[in-house]
Amino acid sequence: MSDVAQTSGNGRFRAERAAASSAETAWVLVDADWNLHVEACAYLASLRAADRSPNTERVYAGRVALFLNYCDLSGVDWHDPEFAELHAFLRWLITEPVRRPGATGPGRLRSKATANAIVTTTSEFLKFGARLGWVAARVPGLLSQQKYLRFLPPGFDAGERHQFRAVQERTLKFRADTVPPELLMEEEMAAVLSAAANARDRFLVTALLETGMRVGEALGLRRSDLHFLARSEALGCGIPGPHLHVIRRTNENGALAKSRYPRTIPVTERLVEAYSDYRFERDRFDHGVDSDAVFVNLFREPRGRPMSYSNTKEMVDRLARDCGFAVRPHMLRHTAATRWIEAGVDPDVVQALLGHVSFASTERYIHASKKRMREAVEHTAKARRDTPR
């Protein structure tokens, strides 16, 4: 079952992918009779107008549908909700089990972090509606309050007269523990690469591990984006050394780079070698000769067409089953970022490599890992033993 279906829950409204004449992916909200929810559809259209990724729109569509279904079942007027009703929705998110249709058992509960994310989207939807007159003008004031920052986050500029110390804080949220990003250990990375059944899959896994790309960025790569020679002047590129370009564009397979700003990522000799093996395999199968997409279907129909998100998820799920531990595409990105930080790479460089617009997104990787904590304790103990008394 899709993430949208799980997020939307059981109710009158659901998120659906819209059929469009262009290659652009669009999502809408419909009721049981396939009538569009006009206000929600307008909000989703505003996300597209702001150049948000299709995956973001998909997730937000499911969250808005969940809120509307809760209001419909609870008798809450979503146009003019009370603060207590919004708070009840927040509490309901972590107490109401998420059940798959037809599944038996108690179902799973959402985490507080997931509930916070759903309410954040809901708040943005309500603020959008208030600007257009669909939601009572008082509602945005229920969703945030002013907070004075006594302790400033690293790098925060409070202004010459401390005029920026007063910020708007969300009123509807749980205190959720910061969860370190999931990543793979060295032996797990080796196991995943060994489990890859062919050169294409090994190249894809290596690319995600070595560059920290999002899976949508990798699937959106074109062969013209790969500058794997020592010098690329002949390709019209003056950047020295082997590298690749991540460019946001519309792709046949629906893959899309999340950031609207292009970036360049240097690549290792290991990745270049993995690509050479994949090129040999691709030429041997003679599929995708006319496609400029880097990753194409070689072993299943439609052969020669660009790989899709679903193809990639099936491949990663297969690797997880063969390895016997969890493997997800974003774990490979987390692993790359954490390895850079632990190797002493400056955080601003890691931010550029990952394509983060805000440094706050990079900060989650600057954490004391269990490995580094163990090394610090053992190093200190050894120094004390070696010190003459």
Q: 165-213: per-residue pLDDT in tens?
A: 666 678 888 887 667 788 899 999 999 999 999 999 999 999 999 999 9
Q: How far apart are CA 208 and CA 295, in angstroms?
A: 13
Q: What is the pLDDT of residues 34-49, one digit of tens each?
A: 999 999 999 999 998 8
Residue 218 CB neighbours (<10 A): 25
**19 exposure class (CB count in 10 Å sphere: 0-12, 13-18, 19+):** exposed
- Model pLDDT, residue 366: 76
Q: What is the pLDDT of residues 100-111, one digit of tens each?
A: 766 677 778 999
Answer whether 270's CB lies under 8 Å from 210's CB. Answer: yes
**Can you say whether the dihedral through the CA atoms of 233, 239, 242, 245 is positive or negative?**
negative
Question: SS3 of 377, please?
Answer: helix
Residue 181 CB neighbours (<10 A): 14
H or E element that contains 334: helix 329-342
Structure tokens at 27: 């999502």
Q: Does domain 186-363 have CATH number 1.10.443.10?
A: yes
Q: How far apart are CA 8 and CA 14, in angstroms?
A: 6
- Model pLDDT, residue 207: 97
Bond from prior residue into 302 cis (ω within 30 degrees of 0): yes
Average pLDDT for the chain: 87
Mean predicted confidence (pLDDT) in 91-99: 91
Count of CA atoms in the C-beta half-sphere (13 A) of 211: 29
Q: Is the pLDDT of residue 142 over 80?
A: yes
Map out the domains of the chain as residue ranges: 3-100+109-144, 186-363
Mean predicted confidence (pLDDT) in 231-247: 94
* Higher-confidence position of 386 and 255: 255
* Higher-confidence position of 44 and 21: 44
Q: How far apart are CA 182 and CA 218, in angstroms?
A: 20
Amino acid at 148: Y
- Model pLDDT, residue 1: 39
- Model pLDDT, residue 273: 97
- Model pLDDT, residue 18: 86
Q: What is the pLDDT of residues 312-352, one digit of tens each?
A: 999 999 999 999 999 999 999 999 999 998 888 998 999 99
Task: Count Cβ neighbours within 10 Å for each residue of 95-108 and write b for 16 or more, e otherwise.
Answer: eeebeeeeeeeeee
Strand partners, 28: 16
- pLDDT bin (cut points 50, 70, 90) of residue 2 is very low
* Higher-confidence position of 159 and 182: 182
Structure tokens at 211: 């560059």
